Amino acid sequence: MFFIGVLAGVVIGVILSLLLLIATASRSPVRKLAFDRASNVWVPTTIVADAAPEPGVLVVEISGPLFFADAGSFREHLLDLVQEDEPHTVVVDLSATAMIDLDGADVLTKLQEELARKDVQLSLAHVGAHRLDLLTRAGTIEAIGSENIFTTVREAVAAAKA
């Protein structure tokens, strides 16, 4: 009888821990970036007050995983930012994105479709080889267009301005 009680307690503890982990990981912050001329880098707007956003270009980074538990939240937050700023181009910096799963790739594809209906171009920066492989297999690169995949945010913004 004692063994069944301990086993049930362990199972409940493991389940609660996993739920807590998913809940915590599903709140990856999406931050707007702006160019800090003093340090010559793109930084979160909350860190450097006088960093200048590029007119017509919304640059964001997702700091954490883009996976099944976070994909919907990321999409909603990004669309809210697009509605506020009304850019012609959105650049998503993936340098701080720990991992992307198929749901994350799918949300990027859906974002491309939604933004295209608003005449807004979606570009990705700092994709990296391991993410590029997944995004290619998922059809995301084809949807976004390989010409909209950049090594750096600076390159993506320069292309958006051209």
Q: What is the CATH number of the domain that holds 104?
A: 3.30.750.24
Mean pLDDT estimate for the chain: 87
Residue 12 in domain? no
**2 pLDDT above the threshold of 60:** no
- Does residue 38 lie in a domain region? yes
* Full residue range of the structural domain in which residue 51 is found: 28-161
Q: What is the pTM of this model?
A: 0.83
Q: Is residue 141 part of a domain?
A: yes
Determine, yes or no, domain membership for 53. yes
pLDDT in tens, 115-135: 999 999 999 999 998 899 999
In this predicted structure, what is the pLDDT of residue 47? 81
pLDDT tens across 65-92, in order?
888 888 888 999 999 999 999 999 999 9
Residue 121 lies in a domain: yes
Name beta bridge partners: 62. 30
* 1 has pLDDT over 60: no
Better pLDDT: 4 or 115: 115
Strands in 41-44's sheet, in edge-to-edge order, are 41-44, 30-36, 57-62, 89-93, 121-125, 149-150
Q: Say if 14 falls within a structural domain.
A: no
The DSSP symbol for 28 reads -
For residues 21-28, give the mean pLDDT. Answer: 59
Q: Quote the number of domains for the chain.
A: 1
For residue 6, being part of any structural domain is answered with no
> Above 60 in pLDDT, residue 97?
yes
Does 13 map to a domain?
no
